[in-house]
Structure 1
Amino acid sequence: MRFHTRKWVKPEDLNPNGTLFGGKLLAWLDEELALYTIIQLENPRIVTKHMSEINFRSSAKQGDIIEIGIDVVKFGNTSIALKCEARNMMTRETIISIDSITMVSLGTDGKPKAHGKTEIEYIKDRLED
């Protein structure tokens, strides 16, 4: 799994128990998945269609650093299937993993649009002549 982003757990990210609020972590994941998909499909109009079961396996506290990883599972006609993981870099524990996320490419009309992509593209490959 390729880890792309790190987040620092701050006081405003905590729940009443003093640990990372699950909704905050899911918002971070959804944003990172959207950004990754926008870059891969070269389309700023992306929506999250589906996330499989979400199971919180550990947590984080203020000051911890969370790392978010994403892998492509497959490319569809208008979508991309991904999986992701968030882990606590301080404890080395996985906080959450999601085995199946579907992100869909939309046209200007708001309807699914074919993207024509079949494999992961890396920035270094786009910059080469």
Structure 2
Amino acid sequence: MRFHTRKWIKPEDLNPNGTLFGGKLLAWIDEECALYSIVQLENQKTVTKYMSEIDFKSSAHQGDIVEIGIEVIKFGTASISLKCEVRNKMTRETIITIDKIVMVALDEFGKPKPHGKTQVEYVKDRLK
């Protein structure tokens, strides 16, 4: 799994228990998956269709640095399926796992649009 983004836990990211608010973390995950999918599918109109059960393994505290990892499970006709893990950067302790997130590329009418992708592409390879 490749860890793409790091987030620094600040006071505004905490819940009343003083740990990272789960909703904030899910928003970060959703945004990271959207950005990753937009780049992979080369379509800015890519949306979240499905997110499987989430499993909080541990918490994060103010001052912690977390990193978001994404791995492609498969390419569908108009979709890309990902899995995600968020871990503490310093301890490598897993904070949350999500086994399946499905992102769908849309056309100008908001309907699924086939993307023709079958494997992960790196931007550096597209620039040749």
TM-score, length of structure 2 as denominator length: 0.98
Aligned residues: 128
Which amino acid is the alignment partner of residue 21 of structure 1?
A: F
Unaligned runs of 5+ in 1: none
1:1-129 equivalences under 5 Å are 1-128=1-128
Q: CA deviation at 1:8?
A: 0.5
The CA deviation string for residues 91-128 of structure 1, in whole angstroms up to 9 with x for no partner, is 32100011111100000101111111111001221122
What is the root-mean-square deviation in Å for CA atoms of aligned residues? 0.7
Which amino acid is the alignment partner of residue 107 of structure 1?
A: D
TM-score, length of structure 1 as denominator length: 0.97
Q: CA deviation at 1:66?
A: 0.6
Q: Kindly, what percent of the aligned residue pairs are identical?
A: 75
Runs of 4+, deviation exceeding 3 Å: none
Which amino acid is the alignment partner of residue 117 of structure 2?
A: K
Give the match's secondary structure for 1:19.
coil
Q: Hey, what's the Cα distance between the residues in 2 that align with 1:73 and 1:92?
A: 22
